[in-house]
Amino acid sequence: MSNDKLANVSKSVISSTEEMSTFLQNLKEHTYPLFPETVNFGVRPEFKLSATIVSVDVNNERDVYPVDGGKYALHLNKINEIAQASDLKITDSRIIDRKVDNDGRVTYISHQVSWEMRNIDGSIKSGVATGKYDYYNDVATKKEGQVKTRRKHAEALAESNALTRAFNKAIAKLPQSFSKNELSKPFLIPCVIQDTN
């Protein structure tokens, strides 16, 4: 996206659903917008809708990893970056179920996160999301190398899944996987800010 278009994003003031629709249509060619379809503007004028750009590098293993079908999934650190840009606050994060085999190796993990964030009307929305890792499902559906790698990172995978679900519930739908072309565009992340003036 050109510097001029980025400058226009940062200067945009959106105060109605119609203006937001036009704003997003103009930017879809250059960004991957994660905005809700409708927003209740004008209830609390001190709250404004802001937007932050978050880029993803498909060649950076810290940003993405390959998944089935030639697509890519976001790593936990990139999901956290998106969540922070949206001002999504994780209020609790914990393993709620952990199973191991006779040798003490992980076979199943269920991870739960609680979250909250501010709506444009000033209210706080909150929720709970769970994610899981299932070794036996991996054995049935994935290659041996993938199974071993995923098992080593079972806790992180379950937490990442929970965080992704939390973000999906909190904002607009964030897909589980993306094509390389989709990730060539930066994400446009909405955030509610309070104008103290």
Whether residue 155 contacts residue 133, with contact meaning beta carbons closer than 8 Å, is answered with yes
Higher-pLDDT residue of 32 and 36 is 32
Q: What is the mean pLDDT of the chain?
A: 84
Helix (H, G, I), strand (E, B) or coil at 166: helix
Within the chain, residue ranges assigned H as helices are: 3-11, 17-27, 76-85, 135-141, 144-152, 154-170, 180-183
User: For the CA atoms of the chain, what is the radius of gyration?
Assistant: 19
Whether the predicted pLDDT of 11 surpasses 50: no
Residue with the bigger pLDDT between 178 and 46: it is: 178
pTM score, two decimals? 0.72
Instruction: Evaluate whether 175 touches 56 at the Cβ level (below 8 Å).
Output: no
